[in-house]
Amino acid sequence: MAITHLFAAAAGAGAAVAADRLADRLRGTRPTETTRMVGTTVAAPTAALWVTDFLNAAYFARDEDERALDDLRLAFAIVTTFWHEHDHRAIGAKDVLSFHRAFGTARLKRAGGGAGTLDTDALLAGGAQLFGEWFRDAAGDPARRGWGIVFRTAEDKDAYDPEVRLQQAQLGPLTPPEAPAAAQIWSTYPPVEVADAAATVAAMEAVEQWPEYGSELGRFTALRRGGLRGQTFEIEVIGFPSPRTPVLMRAYVTVDQLATSEDDEEARDAWLTQLRLGFAARADEPSPIPDGAEVHAILVLTSHEGHFMGRARSQLLVYSHEGRSYVRAIGIWDPMPWHLAELYEQVGQGAQHAFWGMGAPEESMLHQLAASVARRHTTG
């Protein structure tokens, strides 16, 4: 299943390597750590295709002017809530029957405007059929949404242990970059303006809410108890081997470094100095931190084995400069093995740039984080 998806991703994106040549190369190597990451922790490989089809119906298969990211997040939440409501067992092939009973009629009636699609009302109605009428109100109640799950009550949310998902994640060791600094790839992306720096840091520290910042290219879900420091996230990434045919893959990262305005200023400044020096040595990449900027938080997300970027770190900065505040991403990674490099070139590079702020707002998690902060800032 996983190897087949790699073929589809490469071929659908117009990869130059023919499938038979790629197969020959796969026989001589073992890129298994990455290929086993197709799908999501809450769903078994036997469910990967129909779960992806369900997400497609809620968002990607709809005309662009009909799409709403809230519907994609709701569809993701329905899948994750189904896992939670069924004692955290992996969703399997047989569960497609329950989803067909709940959503099949609406899809036949083109609820989302096109063949086989779903809109908000159809998603809520199907969710109510799957779980009970409580779902309709709970889905719109922030006090009953967290970790990508819709809970029956706020008390159920408080009682939830995110580490039940971690136990199913088959987490490998951390894989930070280890190549000589001159051989590493350092990249930064455009800053995304935020309404308030402190509110942005608070939104990032509310780790149970990260799925609500999900974009059309993916979402982060926290897997550990506690806050941001030392937190591990599952990244569910949506790739596009061909238009309107998303492929769902996952990876894991851990916050192994974190500094906020409450931490030791000297240590934080030393860290930022090293970051500036690293970019100063690369004439093709501008410094991500303007001179005179006030840095409110910086965190490092380090990859685990099997990550589609290989040995990598992503750093997120929240800073203020000349009366305005921003969040910005920085990527650092080792040269990739061939099987990752080919997929990255054909499928991943554009998505990575868009996800971290270089593309349209609906593609970018940072833009969605900024939008969430703006809504809270406006409503007080």
Query: In this predicted structure, what is the pLDDT of residue 298?
Result: 93
For the chain, domains (ranges, CATH) are 42-160 (no CATH), 181-379 (3.30.530.20)
Written as one letter, the residue type at 133 is: E
Whose CA is closest to 104, among 118, 85, 90, 114? Answer: 118
pTM score > 0.85 for this model? yes
Q: Cβ atoms within 10 A of the Cβ of 373, count?
A: 24
Contacts of 141 (CB under 8 A, 6+ apart): none
331 neighbors 177 (Cβ within 8 angstroms): no
- Give one word for 60, left, alpha or beta, with left for phi > 0 and alpha for psi -120 to 50: alpha
201 neighbors 262 (Cβ within 8 angstroms): no
Query: In this predicted structure, what is the pLDDT of residue 337?
Result: 81
- Ranges of residues in the chain with a pLDDT under 70 are 1-38, 240-246, 343-344, 346-350, 380
Angle 120-131/96-108 helices, nearest 10 degrees? 150
CA 282 to chain centre: 28
Query: In this predicted structure, what is the pLDDT of residue 11?
Result: 32
CA 304 to chain centre: 15
Q: Torsion angle, CA of 333/10/166/228, rounded to 10 degrees?
A: 40
366 neighbors 210 (Cβ within 8 angstroms): no
Contacts of 263 (CB under 8 A, 6+ apart): none
